[in-house]
């Protein structure tokens, strides 16, 4: 039986909370004292005040910290988070801080852990995105004491950066845990609830890419043009509200409703059931490169948004303007089933996380780090 | 002719100023506008208020920022430096920020550069020390846009961490620039000024290691015991004022003055002349592993303080308690001359720095970074 | 019917919460949206983590902000509170901020209100204490837009400081509201619960005075010496945990238990019942100069702690060393009943507060203040 | 002979520096160690980087602190100034901090003095302006330990606020010191340098009032219309760069150059000579209500900007739209000489300041303040 520990999870967005929650629940159920440090976008009404979702988790403590106002630059947010988290650590020192990903809140809290010698584990290190966030992510790798990565590729990068192999654990991507369990709903129930008349359908999710905002309208016109010509039917999930979104929405508005069912969003369990039964998923959501391969559904990844983020055989790639490749995918891969990809784990990251925590060595490894030279 | 740029050097200690000054002077003389952002220990009377040394540099601007009071923890210093430097960048945006090494001030300012897309060059990345500072140093590598490293070994580590090869420049260690020029004084003048009666002498510098504070007295007793038995003569420079220093001072106080000339410190030019004519240098100062090999003087590195920091053939290693190895070094290597090691450059880092700045590509490389995968 | 408003109460200690709670409950019951900004000592486990008491209030929102760590100087706490409260006001702007008293948290939030033109009402302005807190209290008077004072004396001081008469409302001292209602318990029940065998008793509360820490032991010895000689019986409430407390505790430990019943603390309702039936209250608690006169119980105020804080006829004053005066009080005033003093109101401050809020002019008075010259 | 003290003057703008400089020079010449803490607008290039003017003062130390960036709200500036000044006080504790007036920097530094028990003297307390700055000014009165006021009226207000009479010193308004000495130039030299052809002239300075920005054009048209009709000649100093300035500048541009000589600014000594020889000064600058009465020159104060700020017999008042009163002033008061008003002192505030410092009691008065009740 594992000794109970005080584990503090840092969450700044609904997205990272989705990744941390399965791990936190598992830790709680294994007898650890679990708390969330809730900050960032969670605290702002403009983003839906999603801190309430954290408060709904039973059996855990919740600490709120408002770390910015609208308009604050990232370095100011960083500094305020450092002060607030450092004050909190003095008041309630945990045995372990768990951070996730690549946002400024994660790096600020990792820095506080490093300078105060508080053990810190980083989820999903070693991934790439090509934005400023990627820099934060790699700094988190250098600041954190343990690395709970999602894939062997990520592990390789973390090791290259000089981390010690016994501190890097491939636990898989936590959001796959939910997909690995039965969804709890039938496909018929999903189709009924969301008014989806099609027997065979693809799913389309096409978000704007901020640095390509001015071409998103043309990209959407290209992509949806080929889809329309194909004669197939599609469930379209509306894009994120980032620069360039209006031009995409305009294209979506012009699609024939008989073959394009457009939805703003879906319940998670229903979406999971829809995805595992889809003939294909098309667009630039991470769902296409991470969840779909795990469920065996073929993906067509469009454009640059997921570049270098996945390697599964079920994922094809095309530019939006590459009508021929898109058409070929719809022709050749529609409805194919692939063996489940375990590139990002087997949907057991919570179990893997518990196994890491259960190892007494995890808690006694030195907090002073050394650069490990790779094999030449 | 290079286009004149606004270059801001960040300095937090006398030590990093010693490294940055040769580069700043060269940049100034090449026609660039040079300024120093002076912060950290420079600003505290307790550390000698060394900001005055920066003010003495002619032809450069000096911006002062007091970023801490005695007792502030490192994360609080970090946050205050972020705010202060970020405010400053808004007021006087430079074309390039140059940071050095591994201290909290360097990382805080590198973070501000990264989030504000201000070009940042990092001096002496890729080195190792095994302390919390090493973590800061590697974060600087991930945050900075250019890397002006001191050795091929450092370059290899920076590349392993995913940096792009065209952003890594081996310029050598800047403090060797000063040693590479004639010292301007004769050995006779040095011996006269510091009252050194010996014709043949070794130099001993033995600093406390904070994490070994309680054994420093025994280590000093071991080391100086062998030196005393050897019958040779030594110039001893007093150790840094860190935990464990008292026990070392006590040992030093007991040495016979006829063969141990103890000095608190020396002028740089005089020390350089003394070092190049020494029969050996013994102890755990970085001088032994960096400057001495450059000058061809044999070194005996004692204990863990410089572990993994140098590879030159002229450097031997021994634990303080290893009387046999120490005695053997004094027997076999005393007075030997080695070919100058260029592991840390040829003493031309300022010239190399100017060559980097003179390349127009340096100023146009994208500020958005990508992780470069190494060759498998 | 009053228009519902968003009212935010700032609380930093259990003491000010005791004053703010009756007002907040009344505002809530009158239909206003009530929230607490909880900060200061409430947030620290070392002080009992009293934020949980605020969370127990039904029907109100609670916003937590950790504004310091142990050891932070007051100006640093001030600055952190300003940033945190200013961020919060941007996120959830209220119609009115209510602050209380003289602590650094009150002044910091009043400053934020002033510079952001958010209406701010200050409870218990115009009182004096002779410490740094008094300076904060008077600054609050200059920063706040409305003044809800406890007495005519306080009103006079607030007007002298240049505030406009139509912004100063004498509502009385809020903690008297609770004493003005029946306690809900019988004296017999109180005596049974706390094991108090005496029919006739005095209450003694003697806190350390920080600036007199070194003489507190002697003062306690003097005071309790006279009490012991008097032959009367006493309920002694243990003193606050401030410098000098140990010497007082030592004196208390030496008292004969048969006539001195020592209690660490009491439930509020039980204490209220005990106080209204006491033969006298002796010591330096504010209870002696504020609540006791309201209940008609005679008080002997010892030493400097409450200097200039009350004027009621039922309050006598003596130095601890003044054995004669103490003995005379015990002789002459023991068991006397006085007409209730209304110097600090009639125990209806919540009603008075609601009346202030119900005046539409309250919400439209200009937020730009002018110094009002007194009558010459 | 006065014991030399360390005196630190806080300056945030060119305006307050103009007031503090005569006092600082006098203190320096009396043998005290004088330093300036330079912050606020002085540090921003957008406001002319006026810190260089402070650096030009010989024989004093200068400490720079950048306390804001463009766009920072006042409470954030306040918090940053508190941290920066508090850090500075730990590093170089002075015997006395001197602040001036009503800006956020003065209040932030006064707060730091109050909580750290560092003696603080406030220049020009007790004045009124009817803006948020007035609130800061009165808080400074409550925070500071000594009050060096400019008039008996100001003294009366400071006493009303509960300050102790022995801490309030009427030293007069420091900028009058410069006017009280001979200007060092002749009127002819002034007229030659600034190309002023008139023998008889009025001076006009008309600044925008922020809260009346939208009517400033009409006000300027009204005022200058009457001036133009009068047939007299005028030297016009351009207005401050505040909201509403464009409309004023437009009116000024339309004036006939033969009778309106428009200047952007003047050297202080030249302006002083011009003012003492002017037939009148007209507009809303404080010069009209403070310096002009001291020099005996008649003033017409226009609009609300100086309301309640002066009482001298030589000052007349009119609204800009009140053509009749303006015309009457030009008819009746043009060229009149008044006996010098000493409402704001005799131009000897520096001497008075030294006298205050020379009193040993000044340095030993308790730093703990008490509210002094006025005489009823």
Tell me the backbone φ, ψ of residue C184, rounded to 5 degrees: 90, 0
CA–CA gap between residue B359 and residue B356 (Å, rounded): 6
Q: In the prediction, which pLDDT does B376 show?
A: 39
Give the CA-trace dihedral at A110, A116, A119, A123, to 10 degrees.
0
CA–CA gap between residue B96 and residue B41 (Å, rounded): 23
Q: In the prediction, which pLDDT does A15 show?
A: 84
> How deeply is A219 buried, as exposed, middle or buried, from its count of CB atoms within 10 A (0-12, 13-18, 19+)?
buried
Tokens of C78: 């001030």
Tell me the backbone φ, ψ of residue D41, rounded to 5 degrees: -65, -25
State which residue of chain D sits closest to C89, comparing Cα positions.
D75
CA-based nearest residue to B121, from B190, B66, B171 = B171
Q: How much is the average pLDDT of C285-303? A: 94
Residues of C whose CB is below 8 A from A68: 87
Band of the pLDDT at B375, cuts 50, 70, 90?
low
B111 near A CB under 8 A: yes
Tokens of A265: 């969003």
Q: How much is the average pLDDT of B171-180? A: 92
CA–CA gap between residue C362 and residue B172 (Å, rounded): 71
State which residue of chain D sits closest to B93, comparing Cα positions.
D45
Contact B105, B12 (CB under 8 A): yes
Band of the pLDDT at C312, cuts 50, 70, 90?
confident
Band of the pLDDT at A376, cuts 50, 70, 90?
very low
Q: In the prediction, which pLDDT does A325 show?
A: 96
Note whether D87 contacts B70, CB cutoff 8 Å: no
CA–CA gap between residue B252 and residue B228 (Å, rounded): 11
- Go through B142-157 and write b for each residue having 16 or more CB atoms within 10 A of its CB, e for each that does not: bbbbbbbbbbebbbbb
Residues 6+ apart with CB under 8 A from A177: A22, A347, A348, A349, A350
Answer whether residue A118 shows pLDDT above 90: yes
CA–CA gap between residue D97 and residue D37 (Å, rounded): 10
Is B374 or C149 the better-scoring residue by pLDDT? C149
CA of D121, closest CA in chain B: separation in Å?
Answer: 24
DSSP 8-state code for residue B128: -
- pTM of the full structure: 0.90
Note whether A78 contacts B128, CB cutoff 8 Å: no
Q: pLDDT, tens digit, for every residue of D100-134?
A: 999 999 999 999 999 999 999 999 999 998 778 89
Q: Of B44, B63, B92, which has the smallest distance from its Cβ to D91's Cβ? A: B44
DSSP 8-state code for residue D41: G
Contact B9, B20 (CB under 8 A): yes
Range scoring the smallest mean pLDDT among B321-325, B327-331, C131-135, D289-293: C131-135
List, in sequence order, the alpha helices (H) in D162-215: 175-180, 187-194
Q: In the prediction, which pLDDT does C1 show?
A: 56
Residues 6+ apart with CB under 8 A from B241: none
CA–CA gap between residue C99 and residue A125 (Å, rounded): 45
B93 near A CB under 8 A: no
Q: pLDDT, tens digit, for every residue of A213-223?
A: 899 999 999 99
Residues of B whose CB is below 8 A from D70: 90
Helices C74-91 and A74-91 cross at an angle (nearest 10°) of 120
Q: In the prediction, which pLDDT does D376 show?
A: 39
Q: How much is the average pLDDT of B167-173? A: 97
Is A28 or A211 the better-scoring residue by pLDDT? A28
**Strands D33-38 and C260-263, sheet pairing:** unpaired
Band of the pLDDT at D1, cuts 50, 70, 90?
low
Answer whether residue B302 shows pLDDT above 90: yes
Q: How much is the average pLDDT of D176-198? A: 94
Percent of chain A with pLDDT over 90: 82
Residue whose pair of structure tokens reads 């990251």 in the numeric block? A349
Q: Of D43, D66, D91, which has the smallest distance from its Cβ to B45's Cβ? A: D91
Q: How much is the average pLDDT of D15-44? A: 95
Helices C349-358 and C14-29 cross at an angle (nearest 10°) of 50
Answer whether residue A277 shows pLDDT above 90: yes
Q: In the prediction, which pLDDT does A46 show?
A: 79
Angle at A191 between CA A190 and CA A194, to 5 degrees: 80
Answer whether residue A336 shows pLDDT above 60: yes
Q: How much is the average pLDDT of A279-288? A: 94
Q: How much is the average pLDDT of A162-190? A: 94
CA-based nearest residue to A110, from A149, A141, A150, A135 = A141
Q: In the prediction, which pLDDT does C45 show?
A: 84
CA–CA gap between residue D320 and residue D216 (Å, rounded): 10
Q: In the prediction, which pLDDT does B181 show?
A: 87
Q: In the prediction, which pLDDT does C317 show?
A: 95
CA-based nearest residue to A79, from B77, D375, D102 = B77
**CA A186 vs CA A193, A224, A234, A266: distances in Å:** 11, 29, 19, 15
Percent of chain C with pLDDT over 70: 99
Q: In the prediction, which pLDDT does B264 show?
A: 86
Please tell me which chains touch C, using 3 or more CB pairs under 8 Å as the contact test. Answer: A, D
- Identify each DSSP E strand in B182-264 by its residue range: 202-205, 234-237, 260-263
Q: How much is the average pLDDT of C24-31? A: 97
Answer whether residue C376 shows pLDDT above 50: no
Angle at B74 between CA B70 and CA B80, to 5 degrees: 80
**CA D241 vs CA A49, A218, D130: distances in Å:** 41, 47, 20
Range scoring the smallest mean pLDDT among A220-234, B260-274, C250-264, C327-341: B260-274
Q: How much is the average pLDDT of D193-220? A: 94
Band of the pLDDT at C131, cuts 50, 70, 90?
confident
Residues 6+ apart with CB under 8 A from B221: B251
Q: How much is the average pLDDT of B277-284? A: 96
State which residue of chain D sits closest to C158, comparing Cα positions.
D161
Band of the pLDDT at A30, cuts 50, 70, 90?
very high
Q: In the prediction, which pLDDT does C375 show?
A: 52
CA of D68, closest CA in chain B: separation in Å?
Answer: 6
Note whether C83 contacts D76, CB cutoff 8 Å: yes
CA of C120, closest CA in chain D: separation in Å?
Answer: 14
Q: How much is the average pLDDT of A338-345? A: 93
Answer whether residue D9 shows pLDDT above 60: yes
Q: pLDDT, tens digit, for every residue of C195-244?
A: 999 999 999 999 998 788 899 999 999 999 999 999 999 999 998 877 88
Q: What share of chain D is helix, strand, coil (3-state, %, to 5)?
A: 45, 15, 40
Contact C226, C253 (CB under 8 A): no
Answer whether residue B130 shows pLDDT above 80: no
Cα of first residue to Cα of last residue in chain B, in angstroms, is 41
Band of the pLDDT at A45, cuts 50, 70, 90?
confident
C51 near A CB under 8 A: no
Note whether D66 contacts B92, CB cutoff 8 Å: no
What is chain D's mean pLDDT, rounded? 93
- The strand pairing partners of C157, in sequence order, are none
Contact C125, C143 (CB under 8 A): no
Helices D132-143 and C132-143 cross at an angle (nearest 10°) of 170
Domains of chain A: 6-172+348-364 (3.40.50.2000), 184-332 (3.40.50.2000)
D84 near B CB under 8 A: yes
Q: In the prediction, which pLDDT does B289 show?
A: 92
């Amino acid at each position: 039986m594992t000794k109970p520990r005080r584990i503090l999870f840092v969450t700044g967005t609904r997205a990272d909370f989705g990744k941390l929650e399965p791990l936190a629940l598992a830790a709680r159920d294994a007898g650890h004292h679990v708390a969330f440090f809730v900050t960032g976008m969670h605290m702002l009404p403009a983003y839906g005040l999603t801190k309430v979702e954290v408060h709904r988790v039973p059996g855990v403590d919740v600490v709120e910290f408002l770390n910015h106002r609208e308009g604050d630059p990232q370095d100011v947010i960083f500094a305020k988070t450092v002060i607030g988290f450092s004050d909190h650590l003095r008041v309630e020192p945990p045995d372990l801080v768990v951070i996730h990903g690549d946002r400024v809140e994660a790096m600020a809290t990792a820095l506080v852990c490093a300078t105060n010698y508080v053990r810190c584990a980083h989820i999903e290190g070693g991934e790439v995105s090509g934005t400023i966030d990627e820099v934060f992510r790699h700094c988190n790798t250098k600041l954190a004491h343990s690395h709970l990565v999602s894939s062997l590729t990520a592990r390789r990068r973390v090791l290259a950066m000089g981390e010690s192999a016994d501190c890097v654990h491939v636990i898989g991507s936590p959001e796959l845990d939910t997909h690995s369990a039965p969804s709890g709903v039938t496909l018929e129930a999903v189709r009924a609830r969301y008014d989806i008349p099609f027997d065979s359908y693809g799913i389309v999710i096409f978000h704007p890419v901020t640095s390509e905002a001015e071409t998103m309208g043309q990209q959407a016109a290209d992509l949806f043009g080929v889809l329309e010509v194909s004669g197939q039917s599609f469930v379209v999930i509306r894009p994120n509200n980032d620069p360039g979104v209006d031009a995409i929405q305009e294209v979506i508005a012009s699609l024939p409703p008989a073959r394009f069912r457009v939805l703003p969003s879906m319940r998670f369990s229903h979406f999971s059931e829809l995805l595992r039964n889809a003939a294909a998923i098309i667009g630039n959501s991470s769902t296409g490169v991470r969840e779909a391969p795990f469920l065996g559904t073929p993906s067509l990844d469009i454009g640059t948004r997921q570049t270098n983020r996945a390697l599964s055989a079920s994922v094809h790639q095309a530019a939006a303007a590459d009508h021929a490749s898109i058409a070929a995918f719809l022709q050749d891969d529609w409805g194919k089933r692939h063996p489940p990809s375990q590139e990002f784990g087997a949907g057991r990251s919570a179990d893997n996380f518990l196994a890491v925590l259960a190892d007494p060595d995890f808690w006694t490894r030195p907090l002073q780090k050394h650069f490990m030279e790779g094999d030449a």
